[in-house]
Amino acid sequence: MITAIVLIKTSVDRIPEIAEQIAALDSVSEVFSVTGSHDLIAMVRVRQHEDLAEVIPGRISKIPGVEGTDTHVAFRTYSQHDLEAAFAIGLDS
């Protein structure tokens, strides 16, 4: 599974509608409204790198009101569970 973090600039007056349209896409697991230089962050999960082209420029970028995207592909995922295991020293309470 390939995870991409997509930073999205939108028309400010349409953020909720755009976020809902992006969240409805099959490969999108979450959409966050955020502060800073971008308006939304979408988590995209696909099986192959080629699928990113279909989802990001093929669908997300074509939603009316999306002004631009900046995509970051994750190399590795660290969940809270993984971090706890990595720092455990093996002592029982």
For 17, other C-beta atoms within 10 Å of its C-beta total 14
Asked whether the predicted pLDDT for residue 83 surpasses 80, the reply is no
Give me the pLDDT at residue 81, please: 58
CA–chain centroid gap for 66, Å, is 15
When pLDDT is averaged across residues 40-50 and rounded to a whole number, the result is: 96
pLDDT, one tens digit per residue, over 4-25 is 999 999 999 999 999 999 999 9
Whole-prediction pTM:
0.83
Answer yes or no: are the C-beta atoms of 31 and 41 closer than 8 Å: yes
Domains of the chain, by residue range, sit at 2-87
pLDDT, one tens digit per residue, over 54-82 is 999 999 999 999 999 999 999 987 776 55
CATH code of the domain occupying 2-87: 3.30.70.920
Question: In this structure, which amino acid lies at residue 75?
Answer: F
The DSSP result for 74-87, as a single string, is: -S----HHHHHHHH
